[in-house]
Chains A and B, each alone.
Chain A
Amino acid sequence: NAGVTQTPKFRILKIGQSMTLQCTQDMNHNYMYWYRQDPGMGLKLIYYSVGAGITDKGEVPNGYNVSRSTTEDFPLRLELAAPSQTSVYFCASSSILLAGGGNEQFFGPGTRLTVL
């Protein structure tokens, strides 16, 4: 049981390039999330999904896109990379929602992205 896996672990992009961050979970979780963590800050939600085929924006969606074609995979696409997207990106998943939001989220190891 690998939990949540992310690839790549590190990446350097040039301004204007595009890339896809991969995220896979093997816990059969309905909910998946993408966060970014800027230096010295907490996590901010980029996009989330409540199940295959259903995605929605979080707090900071501009410059990103997602898709959810399967329960397991939730890739994050960066189009036209900008220096402001330099950050650490975390994917997370959680099971069906408990009343009041009691589901713990399981996090991947993160992807450190630098845009130069």
Chain B
Amino acid sequence: AQKVTQAQTEISVVEKEDVTLDCVYETRDTTYYLFWYKQPPSGELVFLIRRNSFDEQNEISGRYSWNFQKSTSSFNFTITASQVVDSAVYFCALPRGWGSGGYNKLIFGAGTRLAVHP
């Protein structure tokens, strides 16, 4: 079955620390995408990144980086030199996929609440 697990419920760090948010997934599909979304205290969901299962290269965007490893079914998100503005809930998501309700429907993990203190 399709499943997304974010085992870290809450993480608290001090500004400028590096922090990694874990995402482990289960899928029956051979081709799939994975997503990360950010939900700041204001409440809206903001798309951060989409990765295709064909591409296991790490992705870096400024202070954000993503490590995708099919061998361990993980898609982890690292924030380098964290800032107070990074405080938010972060969600990992996976399409339901073939035979599980369709590719247009996402399964979200429970989210990891990150608090960055000055």
Contact = CB atoms under 8 A, between A and B. Distances in A.
Contact of A100 (B9, B32, B37, B43): B32
Of the four ranges (under 10, 10 to 19, 20 to 34, 35 or more), the interface on chain A belongs to: 20 to 34
Given A43-B108, A48-B105, A99-B31, A104 B47 contact: yes
B28 interface: no
A63 to B, nearest CB: 19
B43 A109 contact: yes
Interface of B is mostly: strand
Interface string B33-49: 10101000001111100
Interface of A: 31, 33, 40-45, 48, 50, 58, 88, 90, 92, 94, 97-110, 112
Interface residues of B, number: 29
B105 A94 contact: no
A100 B53 contact: yes
Contacts of A40: 9, 110-111
B71 interface: no
B50 A42 contact: no
B88 interface: no
Contacts of B29: 100
B26 to A, nearest CB: 15
Contacts of B50: 102, 104
B109 A105 contact: no
B33 A42 contact: no
B44 A102 contact: no
A105 B45 CA distance: 9
Chain B CB within 10 Å, residue with most, of A40, A42, A48, A108: A42
